[in-house]
Amino acid sequence: MDEKQFNFSEMQKNRKLIRKRKIIRRTLNIICSIVLVLSIILTGGMGYYIFGLSNVKINAQGTDSDSYEDLYKSNNSGVSYILVAGLCPPEEGGKLTDTLIVACLDHDKKTLNFLQIPRDLYIGDEDGSIYGGGKINAVYGSPRSGETGINALRRVISNYLGIPLDHYVLFNIPAFINVIDALGGLTINITNSTGIDIMDYNTKVHHRVGPGWVTLKGSLATGFIRKRTGVSDGYYRGDADRVQSQQLAYVALAKKLKNMSVSQMYKVATNCFNEISTDIPLNDILGYALEVKGMSMDSMGVYAVPGQYCSYHGYSVYSVHKQNYIDIYNKNLNPYGKPLTDDSIMIYEYYRTVGESFDPSDEVSGGTLASIEGEKKQ
């Protein structure tokens, strides 16, 4: 009798433990989705993902051989730098990075700033022309022997732009469609008086959208944030216009996500995908979630690498404005590190090599999400 009572008691305890674990697992899924939405998804620009915890692949990219140098990481625990890279669609090869963003999460000041890196940024041919056209978007698909693509990208960004990178998030762009649809669409204000032409990613059909407030379904939202041509639509700067469109997407998503309840966010998080990989430890993901969840639009900012387009070796490339970049980085993304200087980064102003003068017209202004919201009437 006593033994049966004991066993029954143990069974009750086990049931409670299993129930508690399920609650914890559900909570972890919710918190994980919050951080992926507000820090990783917002930084991703074109590949916004919401995942359940079990679908996030940790260290899926593997490690390099022992012959390579250590990756450059922050030496201050008060800040974390996360590289977010989105690969181009499979039909375009899936090896070029269509989106490159660095997130700087200041744990002490409770701020989150993003740096957008144009895909056409010219870095040269440091390893004997292994990068197609010398552009940074070709680095991931051209690692050295024994080196992973993501670590090749981290190394080049650190060497050329001087940014320590503690973690990475890698995703595939098409999942953006599913997530935006799960969120009910992307609501933006089209300010061009005649609207703009957007291609539906799924059907490849072009639609005239706007002017005024519109809500784009996932396939049209994908077309919007990838759009970079159309003079009649006000798009005449290539990647610079694409970067600006992504900033509007940041604002729209931040507004929507900040207004969502936890239950709504969990419902979206159940639409799990497996196209994301990261080396962020799960405990850190949970910590990031708690930090980002409490931030306001004034505490999050987005900036772009300044520069201009020029023709170099027969390619249209984006050449950095080095001092302007250094100023932006030191002011907004370097809270505790040694100030960046001209001599501390490898990137070169190639527009000077071809004899062009400084032209700031291709630069995209940045600021807090609150200021961009007001400036762009979002």
Q: What is the pLDDT of residues 86-131, one digit of tens each?
A: 887 777 767 888 888 898 999 999 998 989 898 889 987 654 444 5
Residues 209-220: tens digit of each pLDDT: 999 999 999 889
Long-range contacts, stretch 89-97, CB < 8 angstroms, 24+ apart: 89/172, 89/173, 89/174, 90/172, 90/174, 93/141, 94/172, 95/138, 95/140, 95/141, 95/149, 96/137, 96/138, 96/140, 96/141, 97/136, 97/137, 97/139, 97/140, 97/153
Specify the range with the lowest mean pLDDT, choosing from 181-190, 251-260, 347-356, 361-370. Answer: 251-260
How many domains are there within the chain?
Answer: 1
When pLDDT is averaged across residues 43-48 and rounded to a whole number, the result is: 31
Instruction: Give the model's pLDDT for residue 251.
Output: 78
- Domain membership of residue 264 (yes or no) is yes
Residue 19 lies in a domain: no
Q: What's 70's domain CATH number?
A: 3.30.420.590
The reported pLDDT for the residue numbered 345 is 93
Please report the pLDDT score of residue 3 as a whole number: 45
Find the domain containing 110 and state its range.
27-178+245-375
How high is the pLDDT of residue 267?
A: 56
**In the chain, % of residues over pLDDT 70:** 68
237 within domain boundaries: no
Tokens representing 175 are: 């999942």
Among candidate residues 123, 103, 121, 131, the one with its CA nearest the CA of residue 45: 103
236 in a domain, yes or no?
no
Three-state SS at 316: strand
The answer to whether position 14 is within a domain reads no
- 18 part of a folded domain: no
How far CA 197 is from CA of 128, 207, 232, in Å, comes to 40, 6, 9
- Round to whole Å and give the CA distance between 102 and 15: 44
Within a domain: residue 318?
A: yes
Q: Which of 87-96, 347-356, 359-368 has the lowest mean pLDDT?
A: 87-96
Residue 287 CB burial class (10 angstroms; 0-12, 13-18, ≥19): middle
The verdict on residue 317 lying in a domain is yes
Q: What distance in Å separates the CA atoms of residue 92 and residue 97, rounded to the nearest whole number?
A: 11
The pTM of the full predicted model, rounded to 2 decimals, is 0.75
Q: Is the pLDDT of residue 142 over 70?
A: yes
